[in-house]
Structure formats: C-alpha cells, structure tokens
Amino acid sequence: MKRRMTRRGKLVIMAFAAIMIIAVYNTVHKNKSSDSVPVQKNTPADEVTTIPISTETVSNTDAVAETTTILPQIKLSGCTSAAAYCLENDTLLFSQDADRSIAPASLTKLLTACTALKYISPDMCCTVGTEQFLVQPESSLCYISQGQQITAEDLITGMMMASGNDAAYALAVNTARNVSADANMSDYQAVEFFCGLMNSFAAELGMKNSNFVSPDGWDTNGQYTTVSDLLILARYSATVPEIRKAAECYEKQLNILSGEGFAWHNSNKLLDPNSEFYRKDASGLKTGSTINAGNSLIAVFEINGLTYLTIVTGCETDYDRYSLTLQLINEYT
C-alpha cells in the first residue's frame, strides 16, 4: 500500500511539473514577441539623434552654410565705432557702435566732393578767393592761394590727397555761387548755401543721422554723423570716378589753370610704399583727424575681385587707426 501511494505521488508531481513547464514557456514566448516591437512612447526625444554624421553629410552641410555664413564678431578696442562692408555682395561684415553720434572731421570732404560734382562739371574753372580767410589755423592744406584759378577736379584732388581745407572752402564757395547764380554772394552766405546742398544730398543718399555745417569737417557745434551714415557715403563715393582716382593716388604733380605747379602726397599711409602700413591692395579712401573726432579712416581694398570698405573712428592715435583697419580687413577677407 505504501509503495502504491508513492507511485501516485510521483505521477502527480510529474503532471504538475509538465503543466508548469508549459505555462512558463508560453509566458516567455509572449514576452519575447512583445520585445520585438519597439515602444517609442516612453523614449525621451533627445535620445533619438544617435546616428553618427558621415563625412559626406558634413561636407554637404558646409556647402549650404556658405550662402548663409554668419561671420565671427571681433571686438575692436581703441576706437569709438567701426564697420566693414563688401561692396559687390552688399554685405555688412562687421559693425560696432555704428549708430553712435561722432564728429566727422575730414571724412566730410567726401560729401563736399560728391555734392559739388552733382551740380558742377569737374572741369569748371574755380577762382580761389577771400573764402580762404575762413580756413581754421592749423588746418591741413594743399596750399592754394587767393587769385589762383583751378578746376573743380583739381580741388577735389587736393582735398582727397592732401586733405586740404583750403580746397574744400574754395570748392564750396565756387559751387554755391554757380548754383545760386549769385556771383555777389558773400563768403559766409556761400558756405551756408553749400552746406544746405550738402545736407540735402546726404538726405537723398539716406544719411539719416548726420548734419554738416562746414565743407571741411572742422569741429563745430551742430556737426555730426555716424559710421552707418559714413558707410552710405563711402559706398556712393567709391563709385565716383573723380573721387576714386584722387583717393587711390599716393603722389601727384600738376599745374593748375593759372599755371602754378603743385606736388601733393596722400595723407593715407596705406598707400605709402615706405610706411609700415602699406597695402598693395589698398585704393583709398579718406583720412580724418580733429580733437573731437580723434583719428578716423575710411579705407578701400580690392581683394580677389571684390571691393571692401572699412571704417574706424575715434582712434586715440594715428597708429591705432591703421592697425585697427588692418585688423578688420585681415579678419574678414
């Protein structure tokens, strides 16, 4: 009897074991089937980007980025405001405090030249007169004298190269009397009339934050501009043949209409082969220095078929304006 019970127990145990094995098998199989289907609803979004980028993908990305390049911005210390611009691409490469109001100094002469050429012919005969007494002491000069006769283009050359304040006043007064058809207009009236023409032309160009009260840019109450406005002026000036021709010339000898001879050198050291700042690819444009303005420079460079404009203003020294200009052009070309 005891042996029979033992067999039954074994049978029960074996049956129970078989049932358990089947149950476990079904459970495991079901779980494996579920694991084969990815469940994304619990996957964090930032874990999705796990595919490595191939070399080809990086190359294609860079090719697209070239058309929307955001150039690195440097910080220019040692100047009040600055800008860099590519003319052909119409691209502003750099801007620092470009809307800050500043004194224009002799950068004004670009507007003086542009305004005169709007109203008179480059070969118009101008007579140097008593307006020379309006030129401030210690001004930069091209050394014309009362009674001499000289073309408007030669006056512009004297303004661009030697930064002659005497040439600026002669050009302003002769232009004003020609436009107004009033040969008896006083020197003061003529200068005021011409400055009105300057401001009107500046407004036409889009210079919204500038005002000029002298043709030479001497420090005067009510005379101001911004780098943003100077960039507009420089862009236009760079397209005027008479201005570019004079601005890119380092030295020139000429005889004026009344026979006197002059030898002028450009005040822009970027054009001076003997200067540490000389650049073969530089082609202008204008220097400016006064107490209020500091040392300023609008420069033009021709590099790889493109024209670049740089502006630095309010530099403490003459050295600073050239070193900062070169820093800008080297950074963005």
**Can you give the CATH number for the domain in which 99 is found?**
3.40.710.10
Instruction: Quote the domain boundaries for residue 150.
Output: 71-331
Residues of the chain with pLDDT under 50: 1-5, 11-12, 22, 24-71
| pLDDT tens string 22-77 | 454 444 444 433 333 333 333 333 322 222 222 232 233 232 223 233 345 778 88
pLDDT in the model for residue 20 = 55
| pLDDT tens string 75-116 | 888 999 999 999 999 999 999 999 999 999 999 999 999 999
pLDDT in the model for residue 74 = 79
Judge whether 136 lies within some domain.
Answer: yes
Judge whether 61 lies within some domain.
Answer: no
pLDDT in the model for residue 260 = 98
Judge whether 289 lies within some domain.
Answer: yes
> HEC states along the chain?
CHHHHHHHHHHHHHHHHHHHHHHHHHHHHHHHHHHCCCCCCCCCHHHCCCCCCCHHHHHHHHHHHHHHCCCCCCCCCCCCEEEEEECCCCEEEEEECCCCCECCHHHHHHHHHHHHHHHCCCCCEEECCHHHHHCCCCCCCCCCCCCCEEEHHHHHHHHHHCCCHHHHHHHHHHHHHHHHCCCCCCHHHHHHHHHHHHHHHHHHHCCCCCECCCCCCCCCCCCEECHHHHHHHHHHHCCCHHHHHHHCCCEEEEECCCCCEEEEECCCHHHCCCCCCCCCCEEEEEEEEECCCEEEEEEEEEECCEEEEEEEEEECCHHHHHHHHHHHHHHCC
pLDDT in the model for residue 11 = 47
Work out the mean pLDDT of the chain and round it to a whole number: 84
Judge whether 115 lies within some domain.
Answer: yes
What is the count of structural domains for the chain? 1
- Model pTM? 0.79
